[in-house]
Amino acid sequence: MSEPARKIAEQAEERLDRVAKSAQRKLDTISAGQFTDKIKKGRFADRTDHDHDHDTDTDSGTARGGETGR
């Protein structure tokens, strides 16, 4: 590749990297705001299974999802 073409390719790659980083920062900001809003509105507070052990079934001690160890 000729020197001018290589420089143009490098500049284009740098620009794309900056655009990608900028887009990622904006997406992170938007996502964080939505998650924070859900917490502030109490979306997770209305769940009734706060003290329930999510890993095992309390009656049989087996893993949830129908696994029986067979």
* Range among 25-29, 57-61, 66-70 rated most confident: 25-29
Which of 28, 60, 46, 29 lies closest to 70 in space, CA to CA?
A: 60
Bigger pLDDT: 29 vs 36: 29
Question: Looking at the predicted structure, is the pLDDT value of residue 36 above 90?
Answer: no
Question: Looking at the predicted structure, is the pLDDT value of residue 65 above 70?
Answer: no
Note if the pTM is more than 0.85: no
Model pLDDT, residue 40 = 75
Bigger pLDDT: 10 vs 34: 10
Model pLDDT, residue 28 = 86
Query: For residue 58, what are the contacts with CB-CB under 8 A and spacing of at least 6?
Result: 52
